[in-house]
């Protein structure tokens, strides 16, 4: 992947994150392929790299989940702390007063964050084997770094 393409995908993900947070009144927002401006990412690149865009979106703390439809539309969940237009029910008004601080969703990105987030799209889920391999790699890195062993681990050895 070229740097130019990667930058375009990051810009597309940021556009979707910002639009979803700004436009939702419930914390849930549907983004359709035709909503992506061509000057940010052309339609053919959007559909070709949709899974990469979703992975980038999930690096934002503001976005707990993204579901991908078979037609390329996204069902984006946004934490309410990032939604300026959230309309709370009467019983939620104490938790979400009108003068509450609204966090900037674009400042919540944590690049290279290692976390497994589930989506309803089976193609986007990590398999058990992938999670096991990631765990083995992490354990090997800890062994090499000389990280202190836990008491339970010392007892087993």
The domain tally of the chain equals: 1
Asked if the structure places residue 141 within a domain, the reply is no
DSSP classification of residue 108: G
Asked if the structure places residue 50 within a domain, the reply is yes
Q: Which of 2, 39, 21, 6 is nearest to 111 (CA)?
A: 6
Are 48 and 69 contacting, i.e. CB atoms less than 8 angstroms apart? no
Asked if the structure places residue 11 within a domain, the reply is yes
Asked if the structure places residue 152 within a domain, the reply is no
Asked if the structure places residue 49 within a domain, the reply is yes
pTM of the predicted model, to two decimals? Answer: 0.69
Q: Which residue has the higher pLDDT, 93 or 133?
A: 93
Has residue 114 got a pLDDT over 90? no
Q: For residue 66, what are the domain limits? A: 3-125
Say what the pLDDT of residue 121 is.
47
Q: CB atoms < 10 A from the CB of 42, how many?
A: 14
Has residue 7 got a pLDDT over 80? yes
Has residue 157 got a pLDDT over 60? no
Has residue 105 got a pLDDT over 50? yes
Whole-angstrom Cα distance, residue 112 to residue 101?
27
Asked if the structure places residue 149 within a domain, the reply is no
What mean pLDDT do residues 125-134 have? Answer: 63
Q: What is the pLDDT of residues 21-73, one digit of tens each?
A: 999 999 999 999 999 999 999 999 999 999 999 999 999 999 999 999 989 99
Asked if the structure places residue 138 within a domain, the reply is no
């Amino acid at each position: 992947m070229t740097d130019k393409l990667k930058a375009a995908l990051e810009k597309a993900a940021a556009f979707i994150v910002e639009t979803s947070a700004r436009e939702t009144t419930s914390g849930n927002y549907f983004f359709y392929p035709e909503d992506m401006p061509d000057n940010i990412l052309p339609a053919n690149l959007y559909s070709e790299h949709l899974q990469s865009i979703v992975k980038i979106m999930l690096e934002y703390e503001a976005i707990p989940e993204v579901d991908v439809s078979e037609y390329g539309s996204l069902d984006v969940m946004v934490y309410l702390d990032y939604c300026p237009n959230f309309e709370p029910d009467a019983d939620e008004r104490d938790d979400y007063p009108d003068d509450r601080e609204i966090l900037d969703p674009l400042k919540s990105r944590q690049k290279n964050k290692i976390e497994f987030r589930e989506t309803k799209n089976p193609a986007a889920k990590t398999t058990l084997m992938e999670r096991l391999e990631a765990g083995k790699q992490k354990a090997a890195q800890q062994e090499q770094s000389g990280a202190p062993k836990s008491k339970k681990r010392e007892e087993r050895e």
